[in-house]
Structure 1
Amino acid sequence: MATIAFLLNGIPQRCEVSPDTSILTLLREHLAETGTKEGCASGDCGACTVAIGELAADIQGFASANACITPAHQLQGKHLVTVEGLAKEGHLHPAQEAMINCHGSQCGFCTPGIVMSLFTLHDELTQRPAPLTPERLEATLGGNLCRCTGYRPIREAALRMNDLPFKRPQWYDAALSEAECLPSLTAATDASSFFAQPQSLVELTQLRQAAPQARLVAGGTDLWLESTQRLAQLDQLIDISRVAELLTVEEATLERQAGWWIGAGVTYTKLEPLFNKHFPTFAHLLHRLGSQQIRNRGTMGGNIANASPIGDTPPVLLVLGAYVELTNTYGNRCIALEDFFLDYKKTALAANEVISRIFIPQAPKDSQLRIWKLSKRREDDISAVLGAFSYRVEQGVLHDVRIAFGGMAAIPKRAQAAEKALEGSNISVEAFRAAQQALEVDFQPMSDVRGSQQYRQQAAKNLLERLYLSLLTPDQEVMLHAYAH
């Protein structure tokens, strides 16, 4: 069992729960707080959205999260806010009042989650005033589904809530005592149960050496589905979300390449400033990687370690020439990402190793990066096919061509035959037809619920066609932009 101390709507709580307890289960079954609803139990619908805040004096604000797939033990020393805590002394929070005034609720089941997403947006706009752009509003509400309203009144509520008077509740400044903030200790109730929450990489690797069978959990956005969807027991866990070395982003050089070391535990949300500045195309992809709730929790290290053939970031990292650092108690080794993926869900990671960092080289100034994701829904959906393309154009000739796809093989994989067909070629119909034919050498995709083999093969060829048309008309987009407004 794990003992956790945290604030719930400003009130100190101390609970003892099993390692695989979610925040949703903690709220509804242990604390009898039933305002937070379970909809999909997979982080898709947003009905269970809650807000989590840090208690450190230099960190302010709340981030939305899906309570159904967020481990309860990660609340240790943090502040959890639910829909029950927003109204104080008879006064509704502006997010609640605006939803009422704009008739943003009908059946009401999804409403608590929508209100909590709006609460985090209101909190952010209050602390750091800025225009509420359509893109920002879509990012905030993209993870909240509603079957009743058609979203227009919800959008109106979001636009109006900041015009309503707001008095900051006292619980914003609540704090835990130093004793209550002590981290959870390693707990093992019997031979079949194991839980630990290390604070350093040294401690993590020692635990990994001692318990190679334990599952590592960072954001839990994929791992926790084994509990909610497959009803599997996650009773052997090492929570890496507090390991300091895994939470850093550092500018550095590797093998004479300038770039950035990104800790395996850094969330997508924390990566947005770096990507917006240096990899804007990659930053745009993040807007289609899950929802805001998922991006607040999910990590690039987890996306790589999961080794899914349809993970969104690996194809991009492959064309950028990324490396991964693997660490154990004896030291670390650094390998190219393309050598990390071996077969379906199989990697070069040894049983006693963890992914500690990812190195992304700085792209040359004259290189270009294109990323296109195909999925059934525009956002908050898993890829059917994702194509990433990196290249330079010099006097109409393609150089340094790197192409990678997700969803086309058992692993994220480079299209080396297609690369060879384009390398050193003019931007011409003939070169791109040859590259499209070469894709049949590079890939023999499988058929599943997201697409048949024929669909995937044709979709990959069409993405090459889109690249060709984009190169012919570099000043305009050849297809509707995913975030056109």
Structure 2
Amino acid sequence: MSAPNASQPSRPIRFVHRGQVQEVSGVPATTTVLQWLREAMHCTGTKEGCAEGDCGACTVVVGECDAQGQWQQRTVNSCIQLLPTLDGKALLTVEDVPQASGGQLHPCQDALVQCHGSQCGFCTPGFVMSLWHLYETHEQPPSRGDMADALAGNLCRCTGYRPIVDAGQQMFEAPRVAFDPAPLLQALATLTTQSDLVYEGPDPAQPGQTTRFYAPTTLEALARLRADLPQARLLAGGTDIGLWVTKQFRALGDVIYLGGVAALQTIQTVQDASGQTVALEVGAGVTLEDAWSTLAAQVPALRELWLRFASPPVRHAGTLAGNLANGSPIGDSAPILLALGASLVLRRGEAERVLPLDHFYLDYMRSDLQPGEWVQSVRLPLPTATPGTVMRAYKLSKRRDSDISAVCAGFHIRMEGDTIVEARLGWGGMAATAKRASHTEAALLGRPWNDSTLQAARAALSQDFQPMTDLRATQDYRLRTARNLLTRFYLETRPLDPLSADRTQIWPAHV
């Protein structure tokens, strides 16, 4: 397989759709999967709702062959996935689902009919794809709570969610319908000998210009390509850059895609002498879903934030490194990783450097990345299992699921006896960047974890932050609720009579 270079000739995008290998050329490299489906293939079952990955009407399933030769699939939002990212993969849409039932309605579709889970029907194809994916990845029916989490990326404005969740449970009661991925794997096998993708297409944002899309498959090829093209746009999951295309109609210029580099899609564990996992190293191509599920398994206090972080289709596409690198002050990863003491492994050519995350952000949407430098991996130290170490994560937003935070916070303290000897408080939504609260941390260090220390920390917050007012929250709301989150953290972790989860969390108690 030849490594791509800046002068390599363009070749078509090749992927499997409707059981056939598709070869696409002559379209813009910024064509979305949804545009291609509806306009080129006239597969109009997949709908466009928001064109930004929020509503799920455009949900499709992308499948591929893993390193062990097994079928792997995930749901994504086709409205913000660029078509060249499908190269070497398989695309399944709502038109494909009945094929798994011999041309009849699939159990997920039949259950939606029987449970009256569709009214206007516009969102229904997206729900079908999420339910079908759930059906294929679960042998046993999930709980209603897990079902709701799995459907968090699909919005319905008229039916209501109760009959849809009912349908999700009922589809498991019907005789099992087996999906055989063997024909798709055979078709994918014909694509494994193709060269790394270099695709060139017209740029609709710049008439007369073209965009080149590079998709290397090795770390070395990516490093060389980035060194040759330091101004090219790096693309991982597209959950941010996709909106530049669909909402802002921006020219991307040349694009280097990280999603084909297998070496960037690994999570490595670091263990101490006793075999205890003390850190994770997350490659730049690891999805948000894989990164956060692995992290939450090590730090259970992060589970709720993982499930409330965007939606499954967004988490299946977006990456942890991308969420950090884009520099958004309201990204949910950075505050938590600041509290963990995370670092970034940055690379330029063959040179690497390690930079603490709290030194990475310089100003609004501006980082310490040098020209031609890119994030290779994220290093995540894990809290120790000692009794005096506590970690919590909190998110405030107008909706519980799939919403942007007004305030997001990660808190980590370590006590020796009754004295706080280590404190890291990461905040998002409180400043132009995600940042630690240095004055508040200083108010905690060396003091007992009691009400007096809490009040000092609450007062110190105004020295760390003067939040802005915007559509999501006012300055006063952000500062007041930030202080209240500190109070909640204290009530949950104080040495004497800490409050249990069922006394501080409405949702788990309700479920």
Same structural fold, with TM-score higher than 0.5 when normalized by the shorter chain: yes
Mapped pair 1:41 → 2:51: yes
Q: Alignment partner of 1:419: what SS? A: helix
Which residue does the alignment assign to 2:15?
Answer: 6
* Residue deviations 1:194-235 (CA, integer Å, cap 9, x gap): 210011222112222222222111111111111111122334
Counterpart-to-counterpart distance in 2, 1:359 and 1:450: 31
Segment of structure 1 superposing worse, 405-414 or 462-471 = 462-471
Give structure 2 stretches of 5+ with no counterpart.
Answer: 1-9, 202-207
Counterpart-to-counterpart distance in 2, 1:313 and 1:104: 34
The within-5 A match list for 1:228-377 is 228-252=246-270, 258-366=278-386, 367-377=389-399
Alpha-carbon distance, 1:276 to partner: 3.3
1:223-250 deviations in Å (ceiling 9; x for gaps): 1111111122334211110112211111
The change in CA–CA distance for 1:272 and 1:30 in structure 2 (over 3 A counts) is: same
Query: Is the contact between residue 144 and residue 165 of structure 2 (CA under 8 Å) also seen in structure 1?
Result: no
Query: Structure 2 vs 1, CA of residues 177 and 98 (structure 1 numbering), >3 Å: closer, same or farther?
Result: closer
Shift, 1:55, TM fit: 3.0
1:85 aligns with 2:107: no
Provide the secondary structure at the position in 2 that maps to 1:456.
helix
For the residues of structure 2 that align with 1:53 and 1:199, how far apart are their CA atoms?
Answer: 18
Q: Please list, as runs of the form range in 1=range in 2, the aligned pairs for 1:74-473 lying within 5 A after superposition.
A: 74-88=85-99, 89-125=102-138, 129-169=139-179, 173-174=183-184, 175-176=186-187, 178-181=189-192, 182-188=194-200, 192-252=210-270, 258-366=278-386, 367-472=389-494, 473=497
Q: Which amino acid aligns with 1:262?
A: V
Give SS of 2:199's match.
coil
Residues 439, 460 of structure 2: 8 Å contact kept: yes
Q: Give the direction of change, closer, same or farther, for the CA distance of 1:452–1:177 in structure 2 (3 Å limit).
A: closer
* Other structure's SS at 1:84 match: coil
Change (3 A) 1:426 1:219: same
Letter in 1 for 2:250: A
Give 1:50's aligned residue: 60
Please give the alpha-carbon distance, in whole angstroms, between the structure 2 residues aligned to 1:335 and 1:169.
46
- Give 3-state SS (helix, strand or coil) of 1:358's partner: strand
Cα 1:170–1:388 change in 2 (3 A) is closer
CA distance in 1, matches of 2:156, 2:469: 31
Cα separation, partners in 2 of 1:82 and 1:187, compared to 1, 3 Å: closer
Aligned equivalents of 1:11 and 1:192: distance in 2? Answer: 28
Name the counterpart of 2:5: none
**What's the offset of the Cα at 1:92?**
1.2
Query: What displacement does 1:272 show?
Result: 4.3
- Per-residue CA distance 1:97-126 (angstroms, 9 max, x = gap): 11111111111100000000000000011x
2:42 match: secondary structure: coil
Letter of the structure 1 residue corresponding to residue 500 of structure 2: Q
| In 1, Cα distance between equivalents of 2:323 and 2:477 | 25
Q: Percent identity?
A: 40
Deviations 1:69-107 (A, max 9, x none): 112111112121111111134411111111111111111
* Map of 1:65 onto structure 2: 76
TM-aligned CA deviation for residue 183 of structure 1: 4.6
Residue 165 of structure 1: CA displacement?
Answer: 2.5
**Which stretch shifts more, 28-37 or 70-79?**
70-79
State the distance in 2 between where 1:6 and 1:201 align. 23
Q: Please report how far the alpha carbon of residue 34 of structure 1 lies from its aligned counterpart in structure 2 after TM superposition.
A: 0.6
CA distance in 2, matches of 1:352, 1:27: 35
Local SS of the residue matching 2:377: strand
User: 2:345 touches 2:354 (CA, 8 Å); kept in 1?
Assistant: yes
Measured after TM superposition, the shift of residue 364 of structure 1 is 1.4
Q: 1:465 to 1:54 in 2, by over 3 A?
A: same
Q: Shift in Å at residue 401 of structure 1?
A: 1.3
Q: Deviations over 1:168-195 (max 9, x none)?
A: 3556533226553425532346865221
Using structure 2 for the length normalisation, give the TM-score. 0.89
Match in the other structure for 1:480: 505
Secondary structure (helix, strand or coil) at the match of 2:95 reads helix
CA displacement 1:244-301 (0-9 Å, x = unmatched): 22111112379xx941211011012222442233112223311011011111111110
Matches of 1:418 and 1:304 in 2, distance apart? 23
Gaps of 5+ in 1: none
Change (3 A) 1:170 1:336: closer
TM-score normalised by L of structure 1: 0.94
- Give the C-alpha shift of residue 318 in structure 1: 0.9
Distance 1:471 1:252 in 2: 27
**Alpha-carbon distance change, 91 to 416 in structure 1, aligned in 2, over 3 angstroms:** same
Render the CA deviation track for 1:297-336: whole Å, top value 9, x for unaligned.
1111001101111110111111111110110113111111
Give the deviation of 1:480 after TM superposition.
2.4
In the superposition, relative to structure 1, how do residues 344 and 466 fare at CA in structure 2: closer, same or farther (>3 Å)?
A: same
- 3-state DSSP class of the match of 2:452? helix
Task: Assess if the C-alpha contact under 8 Å between 1:55 and 1:77 holds in 2.
Answer: no
The letter of the residue matching 1:98 is A
RMSD value, Cα: 2.0
